[in-house]
Structure 1
Amino acid sequence: MQLGSDALFARAAVAASLPRAIPKAWGTAIYHAIDRIAPAPFVARELGREALRRGDTASAMAYAVTLPAGGARDALFASIERARGDEGAAIEYELAGLDLPRLLARIGTMERMHPRAAYALAVRLRDRLAITTTHPDALANAYWRCGMLATNAVYHGHRPARWNPRAHRAFLAAARMAPYDNTYALAVAAYYYRTSDNARARRWYRRVVTVNPASADGWSGLGSVALREGDLSGAQRYLATALRYGPTAGSARTLARKLAARERP
């Protein structure tokens, strides 16, 4: 068993190590022998993966159907469908098995060219996570991602009246699910700032610096609100605090440029 595993996983071993010296065919032969004598799910899974690497989707499917229901089975089915060119079916299996790394990578790939399609997939992932009730952190992140994708749709020229409310609801849901994660509170604050709701933006930036007094983004946000309202001295104080905690923070540098432009004679 160990010799077979070493051969099959030799690609992950360091150069000049023993596994790299074992012919890969040995590993496959050993696993085939084990599968005949004492079938086990992990053996079938690895043989299915090996078949896929050879481009043999039929053999991979034969091993996949022997696996018990669960993430490993869904992941192998997804890989088979992708190898066959059916991306839609692959995504369905990944949603069923909650293959978060692959789904998030797919959403990221779609985001730039197809923001609405990326949003639709993110919503499906969010709803799938909500059904399981076992991944609260991932669910909060999924809500936040939906908000970011809705915001991205606005930047790509899609109707703000349709997409801004979606972003708003998603950011608020994420912040409520994970109240001590400032990523989500900052997203809510930035949403209100972007939509010119200064009072709510200030309230949420205050919440950020209450949770983390060293948040340069939170202090910069308060400074941006103050500057928009014409309070230059307040904006300067907030900027000084932001620079103290994050001298290289992009938000602080942006606020500094805006202040310099306002103060220029």
Structure 2
Amino acid sequence: MYLQLIASALALGLFLGMLLCVEIGRRMGLAQLRKEPGMPKGFGASESAIFALLGLILAFSFSGAATRFEDHRHLVAEEANAIGTAYLRLDLLPSSAQIALKSQFKHYVDVRILSYSRNEDPIATQQAHAQTAALQQQIWQSATASYALADARANLDLILPDALNAMFDITTTRAVALENHPPFIVFLLLPLLALVSALLVGFDMSNNKHRRWLHIISFAAVMSLTVYVIIDLEYPRLGLIRINPADQVLIDLRSSM
């Protein structure tokens, strides 16, 4: 909710700022025309460079945000697969060792689902991550304790090195992925280039007798909306566009246990 408000405020601010920059640019152009009739020549190259840079930053920012959004969804599926594989391998253990571990696995999946379903509450999220770490330790201890069973040693070699490690490691991968964003300077450069571009658009329009509101508003609206979508995609657990439906694979896994 907070991210939506912040992103909406930034997009609205950029929209109004671009309209203002168009008007400032237009008045600068009119002042230039009064001093020197006829639009000055030789600025096409610099304008083209700025607009090209704006398009490049927009393309990379949008493409990167969309790629990271898809990566987050794939990581949810990878975690579900890792947990499911480890859970199935518990059947290789003697019955006496399976009961406690299967119960811990079910609780573990419940906690993993809650870890990201309440991401807007940082305290609840921290508690869920702490529970995850504690449960991982308990599962590891229960699994290693099963080494006392002579007939389980060979089968445990299949569970401990691969399945449990993969199940635990993916939690770190997912946590790091959520913090993986472009440098702040990129987020700062994008609206700055949009404002400069709006200034140049207004300057170029000063030769017209009337303002072309359709073009002005469309330009500012499309740019602002694009920046909003980029920010929204960068935070897939907090914005309007979310990957929460991807958690269904974990819910289905929990139902199958």
TM-score category (smaller protein): under 0.3
Higher RCO, Cα 8 Å, sep 6+: 2
Higher alpha-carbon Rg? 2
TM-score (norm 2): 0.20
TM-score (norm 1): 0.20
More helix by share: 2
